[in-house]
Structure 1
Amino acid sequence: MMKLQPDAMATKNIHIAVVEDDLRLCNDLVEFLNLRNFSAQGFNSAAKLYQGLLDTDFDLFLLDITLPDESGIEVMTWMRTRSEAGIIIITALTDNDTQLTCLNAGADAYLTKNATLEIIEATCHGVLRRIKPSLELIRIAEPIRLSELKSQAWLLHKTTWHLETPNGYQLSVNQTEMIFLETLFQFTSTPVSRANLLVRIGKPDTLSNLRNLDNCISRLRKKILHLSALEIPIRTNYGVGYLFAGNSSIIDHQ
């Protein structure tokens, strides 16, 4: 079941570079932007970004200031002599002097790291509309949203190990997916940290396990979308973890 949404921006061919040395923040942004139909890549240093520029012509940069090898302001100044791509600064620095310096150096927008992912996405669209005024607006198919099924819940059946979607589809889940969903359902609308999720799953808090967790969640989202045409309301809480933003229930009997 699909819905046509008019005037949705065709973002699939928009390439975004996320330049952020905090791997969790970088991965959150890259995952979110890819889910929102952009083509995003992450870089944790200026040197890796410069290497990436040899392969990809980016339309937009999300740029941190405090990179390990070079200031983000220096990176932006260098890019402004070579590219007309959009640049959005995302930084923990909130003082007016830094903001003015970045905007005067060529930043299209300046956000702090307490900005929500939705604000970051909206800012990306706003900058793209300014720098690409001829960007075609088309009608694209989008999955139906949970808001259209407000009276129905996502049901997690513990005895049979499957997830039932609000529109009646059933998806078998593995042990990791079961623990992950059960935890989010228990703390609906409350962010659950990745560290807490790894404890529940029984794995140490290592970079490798964090990446495996994020990949597992990404695959789960895709499986549900492919089966039911529903986007499960698992929200990435920027730099923290995940939360479930929908109506849910855990069924522990047949």
Structure 2
Amino acid sequence: MLMSDIKILVVDDSIVTRETLESYFAAEGYTVSGAETAEEAELRLSEETFDLILLDIRLPGKDGLTLTRELRTRSEVGIILVTGKQDEIDRIIGLECGADEYVSKPFNAREILARGKNLIRRVRKQRELEKKPADEPVLRAIGTWQLDTARRVLIKSDRSESQLTEGECQLLLALKTHEGTALTRDQLMDRIKNRTWNATDRTIDVLIGRIRRKLSEDPLCPQVIVTVHGVGYLLSSVAENSAPEEGVCESL
């Protein structure tokens, strides 16, 4: 695979920021395009297939958070949010919407290139897997759901499905491997491949919230993924439809 075959789209209304990001990746040999608005980005995405999108949160017209949410419903393209330091809440919401990574202004060139390259590898690997003939599904029980690890989907008892992102699937598998044992956020983060983080990072909490919604869990009384206060999270071996004992529901 030639580097020039990998396509990156930079979406930012600041020409300085846009050209700076474009130059970082173009210097590495990638094919890079730019868009000033979400609407312009959508047009480009309808015409070409991109591997990675660097997306500013604050855009004129449709904002980056809305575009992230819409893209994630139909595509597994890599999405890195570009945020200002004052955008902490928006950054967390963006991750909840399905963004894979985030970078803050001002940029560290080595950091954004490393995050981009890791994400491109994951996207390419997933596309290759989708092209291969389907193997026998590997199903893991998650409460009353089944996790198809090959397709990264949760399957409900009525056969309806909920798609997982790579990060969500890795996290759920880590919890499954240690079912019934509480894992700290540090331990869970270490098990999510190709992720870098810092001590204030809320990525694990965001991913847990997204997985719980896909499992249709009551956020005030989750029965499958349980918060162990002062420790972290565990995957309960108790079936999802088992009635909780009085007083065991947690308050988040």
TM-score (norm: length of structure 2): 0.47
TM-score (norm: length of structure 1): 0.47
Greater fraction of residues in strand: 1
